[in-house]
Amino acid sequence: MTSVTVNNACLTEFSDFKLKKYRYLFFKISDDRHEIVLDKIGDSSRTYDDFLADLPDNEPRYVVYNFEYDAGYDGTNSKVLFFSWAPDTSKIKDKMIYAGTKDTFKKAFKGLEIESGGTDKSEVAYDVILELVQSRHRRYRKAMK
């Protein structure tokens, strides 16, 4: 774990995010490497393709995403996804700092339901994430029987 803290403004925006005011929030570690700060807001009209386009090619990020999906006979459902994005092309030191700070992020942001990581956009493609979310939904339904 590192000594990086979460900026309070991030928690305020995350509260609004949980009220579905936003589709996604991007967070980064500040240039002085002392805190996690808000990097980008995707309003509720943004799509998954917009999210993928907003992922930086060469820099890690943490992202929370309101993912809506068809849950079959349960209708439309949504989950709060947490992405730890660390592209292969990122600097090694940056990847290490993000990896070491991930638990700090997860502890500060209550309500993250499903976690995924990615080093390449193919690892966070819509179909990949949809399968992850639906498989968790099926396991939940099975456990409830």
> Do the beta carbons of residue 54 and residue 42 sit within 8 Å?
yes
97: alpha, beta or left? (left if phi > 0; alpha if psi -120 to 50): alpha
The pLDDT of residue 1: 47
The pLDDT of residue 15: 96
The pLDDT of residue 143: 66
Model's pTM, two decimal places?
A: 0.90
Rounded distance between C-alpha atoms, residue 49 and residue 90, angstroms: 22
The pLDDT of residue 3: 86
Quick one: CA dihedral 9, 12, 22, 99, positive or negative?
positive
| C-beta pairs of 13-19 under 8 Å, 24+ apart in sequence | 13/38, 13/41, 14/64, 14/109, 17/64, 17/66, 18/80, 18/111
Kindly give the confidence (pLDDT) of every residue in the chain, 145 residues in length, as a single tens digit, with 9 standing for 90 and above: 458 999 999 999 999 999 999 999 999 999 999 999 999 999 999 999 999 999 999 999 999 999 998 877 777 889 999 999 999 999 999 999 999 999 999 999 999 999 999 999 999 999 999 999 988 767 666 666 6
The pLDDT of residue 141: 63
Helices vs. strands in the chain: H and E counts, helices first: 4, 6
